[in-house]
Structure 1
Amino acid sequence: MPEADGRPFSLPGGMADSPGDGEPAGPPGFTQLTDMASESVGGKILFATDDFFAPAENLIKRESPSFREDEYTEFGKWMDGWETRRRRTPGHDWCVIKLGIQGIIRGMDVDISYFTGDYAPRVSIQAANLGEDKEPEMPPRGVRMGAAATPAEFEAVAELSSNDWSYLVPVTELRPGKPASSHNYFPVNSQQRWTHIRLNIFPDGGVARLRVYGSGQKDWATIDPKEPFDLVALAHGGTCVGFSNAHFGHPNNMIGVGKATSMADGWETARRPDRPPVLENDEKGSLLLPGCEWAVFRLAHPGVITQIEIDTTYFKGNSPDSCKLDGCILTTQEEEDMIKQRWELPGHKWKPLLPVTKLSANESHSFDSLTLELQDVITHARLTIAPDGGVSRLRLKGFPSSICLLRPRERPMMRFSVKAGFRASL
């Protein structure tokens, strides 16, 4: 799984899916990362200068854009994207998006699919890192078609001073491709944490989707050191770095924002072809089944896991029979080696956090981690399910290592161990 783990990407030159380039290049590696602006992770449109033909909220829809050939609204042709009116006043159109996952941006996709004669000819993209106290209270947007921003909205958004935000993409011409697939990819070389995006279109027109790909980054100084914190959450910087099978859903879905909305919002494997014709139990009531499926996660921050939540909601006829969870500590180089070796990690490196445990269908399960006895800091966790099936959410709550080492000793025997030389690699 070479590209989805947050390390640097090998990007094709220029943008893909453009006419005249011969065979279209495949999507760059950063598209395997999370869309941090998507409404599915809490992305939100705060402001748009104009939403006459189609509202800016379409920009951050989870699903790909579609086209309805014969459908019209009272304002004109129905379009699945953000489309402003033909501008007849000075200036250009723009909108502001609050990222649902705030962190490091690796690349963007300005998708103008189906906007064949009315796409925005040029764009630029700016970004800011704002604290919650820096965001003004914006008037509710409501239903926006046929509308332009009100004076009150312009007054509120002016407090953001978005004209002065950093440019991640300078003014650049967009290039249309096939009507149903017109992606303009922009790699971003920045290690800064970002919370808000401003999309400028010059001077007007339509954009189907804006994808903002990257990984979450938590401000660890803001968390309560006395409360367990989800160390694997996608929004905080956790990510899947390897898996055995993801036929129906990627493991990163399990560590997504909020509760799952359907089976499609979880990790689901194919049925194992090596399952026996007739299933039997052992003397303890567990199914006798060969094989298993697994997913490995890099924690957002090294730490001690104290509470484990495994949720099979929506998986009513396809939940796993059982699961187990293990943890280990790896340097960056060791992780890279493991990815190349398909995670054939020696057994002695993995330490049990949860022993083999039966799971129920369509139910949230909570467990205390064995870490309460082991007291080891870990950097990676491996969820193993047997024999196959689906899990909607995985939460690994605990304490970041820097906080663990400073916490009052509530239990006299509490201690933490870190491999020699590891701390220098963080």
Structure 2
Amino acid sequence: MAQRTAAVSSCDTQQPDFIHLNNLACETLGGKIVFATDEWFAPAANLLKRDPPRFEASAFTEFGKWMDGWETRRKRIPGHDWCILQLGLAGVVYGVDVDTSFFTGNHAPYMSVQVACLGRSGLLHSELWRELVPESELKPGYSDSCHNYFQVNYPERITHLRLNMYPDGGIARFRVYGVGQRDWSSVPAHQEVDLVAMTNGGVCLGYSDAHFGHPRNMIGLGRAANMADGWETARRLDRPKELKVNKHTVPGCEWAVLRLGHAGVITRVEVDTNHFKGNAPAWCRVEACTLTAAEEEAAGASNTWDSGKWTVLLPAQKLRPHHRHHYLEAELALKGAVTHVRLVIAPDGGVSRLRLWGRATPTSPAVAPPTSPAVAPPSKL
């Protein structure tokens, strides 16, 4: 059994790279609490909410102050409080965020995290639990200290986590960042699947801008619930003060790079601008390439993800607001297998979903996903 080899906490304002990965524990993916020792003031299910924590000063319940998180009673008996959560998407975890927002005089002062790959039984007392994050101090939930980040190295697939708080108190959110893993051996060779879907192991590796919404949202489940459930950039600051007839309205473009869950041949593309009615991009194109683990790492080291291997998969297409665009195989310019895609939108705006339907192909070790994704910081073109 491979063990965790490092756990580093960061409680400053700088965000670690792993937060650009998928939150495998989010309730929108199916994450759920299966057991908690105590939920007197607030239920543990709040830990898995997608929305940021909020605070209402005058909100009280019959049990005490209402808090948007998990809060237990002040402990008066031996032991400590803990809960078990089942990931919505089993996979490899690269880091966690223990968010104590608004828990300022009542936060849990210490915590630890254990993990396991379990079936339906043996959750509470299984000897399969392994340490992911050792007992560590938590900072109170003020705006400059509420995010307690822990980077980890545990390369095995995880289905469940046990969050221990010592001895009691409150935690607002528990985010588990990683990459989903699907058993591709059970997928028929000719079955068409969404190769970039989060549930199939797709992951966002880099982007130019994500001011209003992260591009990882594009590979989430179903259709977007609202604009916040998609990728949306800021308005470009280099746009002209006055638009002219027969001129390009706004120069430049924005982009997002994603790794497929499995190498494959893409046969259909869907670009959905659902909910983006006054802020959809004017047009888009999709580029693709095949990268080895080493090439991915090198490309990610440059903020522009300019690997020199990008080939047009879907030529430039005009986009309509609040519309589901479908592009069939005959409209695609690339027929071979690929591992990575880059969605380019111009000049800016929002895309709610990107679907890349195709057939998985045999993958050699040279193009297998690397142990740790090379997530690049945002950059402008």
2:74 aligns to what?
86
- Would you say 1:250 and 2:211 are equivalent positions? no
State the match for 1:31 in structure 2. 19
Per-residue deviation, 1:212: 1.2
Q: Which residue does the alignment assign to 1:334?
A: 295
User: What does residue 135 of structure 1 align with?
Assistant: 120
Deviation of 1:184 (Å): 3.1
The amino acid across from 1:110 in the alignment is: V
Contact kept in structure 2, 1:92 and 1:201, CA below 8 Å: yes
The 1-side partners of 2:8 and 2:315 are apart by: 49
1:1-400 equivalences under 5 Å are: 14-17=8-11, 24=12, 26-130=14-118, 134-135=119-120, 161-162=125-126, 164-170=128-134, 172-177=135-140, 179-180=142-143, 181-272=145-236, 273-275=238-240, 277-280=242-245, 290-341=251-302, 342-346=304-308, 349-370=309-330, 374-400=334-360
Give the TM-score, by structure 1 length: 0.75
Counterparts of 1:118 and 1:290 in 2: how far apart (Å)? 50
Q: Structure 2: how far apart are the matches of 1:101 and 1:371?
A: 33
Equivalent residue number for residue 375 of structure 2:
none
Gaps of 5+ in 2: 1-5, 369-381
Aligned to 2:374: none
Gaps of 5+ in 1: 1-10, 18-23, 137-157, 404-421
Given that 2:312 and 2:334 are in contact with CA atoms closer than 8 Å, whether structure 1 keeps it comes out as no
Which residue pairs with 1:153 in the alignment?
none
- Name the structure with the higher strand share: 2
CA distance in 2, matches of 1:66, 1:163: 37
Q: How many residues get paired?
A: 360
Cα distance, 1:223–1:26 mapped onto 2, change above 3 Å: same
1:368 to 1:279, Cα distance in 2 relative to 1, 3 A: farther
State how far apart, in whole Å, the 2-side matches of 1:55 and 1:336 are: 41
Cα separation, 1, equivalents of 2:210 and 2:173: 25
| Identity over aligned pairs, percent | 51
C-alpha contact (below 8 Å) 1:162/1:198 kept by paired residues? no
Choose between structure 1 and 2: higher helix proportion: 1
The separation in 1 between residues aligned to 2:256 and 2:124, in whole angstroms, is 41
Q: Does the CA-based 8 Å contact 1:306-1:371 persist in structure 2?
A: no
Q: Distance in 2 between matches of 1:222 and 1:394?
A: 24
Alpha carbons 2:27, 2:49 under 8 Å: kept: yes
Residues 217-266 of structure 1: CA deviation (Å, up to 9, x unaligned):
22212334332111112333322233333332222221123321111111
The more displaced of 392-401 and 91-100 is 91-100
- Residue 378 of structure 2: aligned partner: none
Paired with 2:8 and 2:305, the residues of 1 have a C-alpha distance of 33
**Stretch of structure 1 that moved more, 92-101 or 308-317:** 92-101
Letter in 2 for 1:358: K
- Partners of 1:363 and 1:80 in 2: CA distance: 35
Give the 3 Å change call, closer, same or farther, for CA 28–390 of structure 1 in structure 2: closer
Could you list the per-position Cα deviations for residues 58-77 of structure 1 after superposition, in whole angstroms to 9, with x for gaps in the alignment? 11122333333333211012
CA deviations on 1:290-312 (whole Å, 9 max, x unpaired) are 43322222212211111111100
1:192 aligned counterpart, secondary structure: strand
Rounded Cα–Cα distance in structure 2 between residues aligned with 1:111 and 1:373: 45
The one-letter code of the counterpart of 1:187 is: Q
Displacement after TM superposition at 1:197 (Å): 1.1
CA–CA separation in structure 2 for the residues paired with 1:163 and 1:38 = 26
| Distance verdict in 2 for CA 1:279–1:194, change over 3 Å | farther
Mean Cα deviation higher: 263-272 or 174-183: 174-183
Change (3 A) 1:238 1:275: farther
Q: C-alpha deviations, 1:180-221, integer Å up to 9, x for none?
A: 433333222110011111112234332222121222222212
Mapped to 2, the partners of 1:288 and 1:80 lie a distance apart of 44
Cα RMSD (Å): 2.9
